[in-house]
Structure 1
Amino acid sequence: MTSAPLPAQRLLLVHAHPDDESIGNGATMAKYVAMGRHVTLITCTAGEQGEILVPELEHLAADRDDALGPVRKDELEAAMKELGVTDHRFLGGFGTYRDSGMQWHAEGHAIPADDVRDNAFWKADLTEAADHLVAVIREVRPQVLVTYDEFGGYGHPDHVQAHRVAMYAAQLAAVDSYRRDLGAAHEIAKIYWSTMSEEKMREGMRALRAQGETSGFAAMDPDGPMPRIATPESDIAAAVDGSEFLDAKMAALTAHATQITTDGPFFALSNNVGASAFGVEYYRLVKGVRGPVGEDGFETDLFAGIDADA
C-alpha cells in the first residue's frame, strides 16, 4: 500500500513478462517519471519460460534447473532503476502466476504451448487475477491504463491474458458495489493499447536494408504485409515522444540481459534509425475522449484532455 500522497497524474501499465515494458513503453515511462508523474508497473509473470541468450546461464532454463524467474526479477529491478520507476509489482505477488510459454504458429505468430503448467498465467481464473489488479487500481487510482490489444501484439498467450485481466479489472474497479474490501471504486479515464507505427516500421526496414542488414526486421519485405503488432497511423491516437530518454530505454533493455542482446534486432533498428524507431511510442485509444493533438494529428500526451481533478 502507498503511504505518502501520490502525484496528481498517475499511469498504470500491465505487462506479461519482465522486458515487455521496456520494449514497448520504456521511453514513455522514463519521460513521465521525469515529469513528476506517478508510474506503476504491474508484471504478470516472471518470464520463467523465456529463452536464455547468455550461454553461462543456460542451466537456468525451465527444462533444466528451472531457476530463471528470480534472475529476471532482478533484471526488472535493474531496468526500472534505469527508467526511474519505483512502483513496480508482480500481479498477486512474485510467483503467483508462471510464464505460460508459447510456440510459433506456421503463420508467424505465437500460440499457447502444447504443455502448459497448472499455475501458468494462461490458465489463471480471470476474476481471481483481475481482483489482484482491482486492488491496485483502487489504491493508486490511475487516470490512464496502458496494456496490450486483444491479440497481445503477436499472440503470446500471456500477453493475451494480460489484456483480458487489465480490461476486466478496469471494469470491475469502477463498480461501487463490487468487492468493497478491495477499496473504493475508481474509474480509469483513458485506456490505451500499445502498438507500433506501420509506417515507421516500414521505414525502419528500408533503413536496415540500406545498411546491409539481412536478418531480423530487415528480412521482412518493407512493402509486404506487416505483423499484427503494427498499426496504420490512421488508427493510432497518441505518439509520445520520449526520444530525450532513448538512452534510458536502451539501458533498461540492456538490463534484461538474459533476453535481449545488444546485437539483436531492437538495437540494430535503433542504431540505424535512431529515436524515430524507439524514442517515439505509439498508442491506440480504446476508452476515453481523445485530447488535443499535435501537428501530426496525434495526442502527444496520454493524459491529454483529462481533468486535473480526475
Structure 2
Amino acid sequence: MSRLVLVHAHPDDETITCGGLMARAVDAGWDVTLVTCTLGELGEVIPAELRHLEGSDELGPFREKELAAACSAVGVTDHRLLGGRGRWRDSGMVATGEGIRAAAPADLGPGAFAVRADVDLQVHQLVEVLAEAEPDVVVSYDASGGYGHPDHVRAHEITGGAVERIDPLGARVALYATAAAHDEVARGLDALRRRSWLPLPVPPVEDLPTVPDDAVTVRIALGAARVRKLAALRAHATQIGVHDDGSEPPAFALSNGLAQPVTASEGFVLLRGPDGGLAALSA
C-alpha cells in the first residue's frame, strides 16, 4: 500500500490543485494524509450572504468546516492542521499587477505562517507528521508557490526541508510540486470563451500560473473522480464558484471573478526522490 501526504497552505488549495489526485489515491487504496498550514483567515469571501464573515474571527472556523466537507467529498479521512488548530494564521497577500500573481504584504500579523523566524519550528512540526505517516509520496508547491502567495512559498520551503530530514539521500520519498500544464489550460480557456452563457470573463493563459507541458513529470487523469473534485470545489463556497452545465470543461472562479477550467487531469513535477511515485495513478 502506498502512502501520500499533501501539504497545502489554506483550505481550498488542496482541492483546486489535487482534488482529483486525492480521490484517485483513495480509490486505489492509498493512505492519504492532508496537512493544511492555516485556516485562510484573510480570504476574500465571494457569496453576498456569507460576506459578513470576511475579516472576522468567524471566517477561519467556517473555512475549516468547508475543508472537512471537501475532504469528505474526495474520501480523505486523515486531515491535520500544522501545529494544531490556530497555531499558524493566513499571512495575506498583495497583487503584483502581473496576472494572477501575488507577493507578501509589507507587514505580517502575529502568528502569520510566512514569518521568517518560524521556519525551523514549522519544519519540525511537519517532520513529526511525516515520521508518523511514513509517506512514499509528498506533494506541495514549487519554489514560487504556484503564483507567489507567501504562504504557498513557505509551504514549499518547509515541505522540502521536512522531506530532506526524513529521507536525506532522496532514495525513498518522492517529492512533487503541483503544476498546471500550459497547453491543457489554454485549450480549456478557449473552450470557456465559446460559452455564451458563462457570466464571467476568461483570462489569457499568460495570466495564469502554468508550466510547459513537457515539464510535467506525471499527469493524473481524473476520469470519474472529477465529479468528486467538483463536489469538493463546491464545498469551499466562501472561496470558489463552480459553473457546470455539463459542457466540457466545467469552470470555477475565485474572488477575482475570472473563469478557469477544471481540466481533465492534474499535473505534477518531480522535485526530489525516486521517479515513478505517482506513476501507478497515471494509467
**Shorter chain as normaliser: what TM range?**
0.7 to 0.9
Task: Give the % identical residues.
Answer: 39
Contact 1:200/1:277 (8 A) holds in 2: no
Bigger drift between 113-122 and 93-102 goes to 113-122
Candidates 255, 261, 272, aligned match of 2:241: 261
Alignment of 1:62-101 (within 5 A): 62=55, 65-101=56-92
Do residues 246 (structure 1) and 226 (structure 2) align? Answer: yes
What TM-score does the superposition give when structure 2 sets the normalisation length? 0.88
Contact 1:27/1:279 (8 A) holds in 2: no
Give the AA of the match of 1:117.
G
Q: C-alpha separation between the residues in 2 aligned to 1:59 and 1:120?
A: 22
Q: Which residue of 1 aligns with 2:254?
A: none
Shift of 1:237: 0.8
Alignment of 1:1-310 (within 5 A): 8-62=1-55, 65-108=56-99, 109-123=101-115, 125-174=118-167, 188-212=172-196, 215-216=200-201, 218-220=202-204, 225=206, 227=208, 229-263=209-243, 271-273=247-249, 277-291=262-276, 300-301=279-280
- Distance 1:252-1:226 versus aligned 2 partners, 3 A rule: same
Query: Considering only aligned residues, what root-mean-square deviation do their CA atoms show, in Å?
Result: 2.5
Give the AA of the match of 1:101.
G
Q: C-alpha separation between the residues in 2 aligned to 1:60 and 1:291?
A: 43
- Structure 1: runs of 5 or more not aligned: 1-7, 177-185, 293-298, 305-310
- Structure 2: runs of 5 or more not aligned: 252-260
Contact 1:72/1:256 (8 A) holds in 2: yes
Bigger drift between 114-123 and 192-201 goes to 114-123
What TM-score does the superposition give when structure 1 sets the normalisation length? 0.81
Bigger drift between 277-286 and 45-54 goes to 277-286
Larger radius of gyration: 1
- Distance 1:253-1:197 versus aligned 2 partners, 3 A rule: same
Q: C-alpha separation between the residues in 2 aligned to 1:277 and 1:72?
A: 21
**Where has structure 1 moved over 6 Å in runs of 4 or more?**
none
The number of residue pairs the alignment matches comes to 271
